[in-house]
Structure 1
Amino acid sequence: MKKLVLAAALTAAASTAFAGAPADPVIEAPVIVEETTGSSGGWVLPILLLVVVAAALAD
């Protein structure tokens, strides 16, 4: 009878040790660095300027 009570006590103690879930690991998001470029892209502004000059000379 003593062994049965001891086994029940150890089982109860062991089950409470695993009662909670472990804490979720903290995972930091990776840092993404992108190079910024102008909205003109380097070729739109000269073409636009050429069109404006051509329109002014056409008058």
Structure 2
Amino acid sequence: MKKLALAAALAAAATTATAGNLSEPVMEAPVIVEDTAASSSAAGTWVPLLILAVVAGVVIAD
């Protein structure tokens, strides 16, 4: 009877020790967000040049 109880205890311990699956873990790909709005530095240059041209035109016209 002792051997049966010992075998049952060892079998129960062995099943809990090897619990789990053998499949590879699934890794999700990282999400990369790319800003697609192209900011142009030329827009910041054209506005002051346009204002300067208008002011110069007004000064020359007077």
Range with bigger deviation, 2-11 or 27-36: 27-36
Establish whether residue 8 from structure 1 lines up as the match of residue 23 from structure 2.
no
Establish whether residue 26 from structure 1 lines up as the match of residue 27 from structure 2.
yes
Q: Which portions of structure 1, spanning 4 or more consecutive aligned residues, are displaced by more than 4 angstroms?
A: none
TM-score by length of 1: 0.54
Structure (1 or 2) with the larger CA radius of gyration: 2
User: Structure 2: 5+ residue runs without aligned partners?
Assistant: none
- Post-superposition Cα deviations, 1:17-49, rounded to whole Å, max 9, x if no partner, equal 138xxx7532111344443422428xx72x433
User: Structure 1: 5+ residue runs without aligned partners?
Assistant: none
Distance 1:36 1:15 in 2: 55
Amino acid at match of 1:17: T
SS at match of 2:26: coil
CA RMSD of aligned residues (A): 3.1
Range with bigger deviation, 26-35 or 49-58: 26-35
TM-score by length of 2: 0.53
Richer in helix (by share): 2
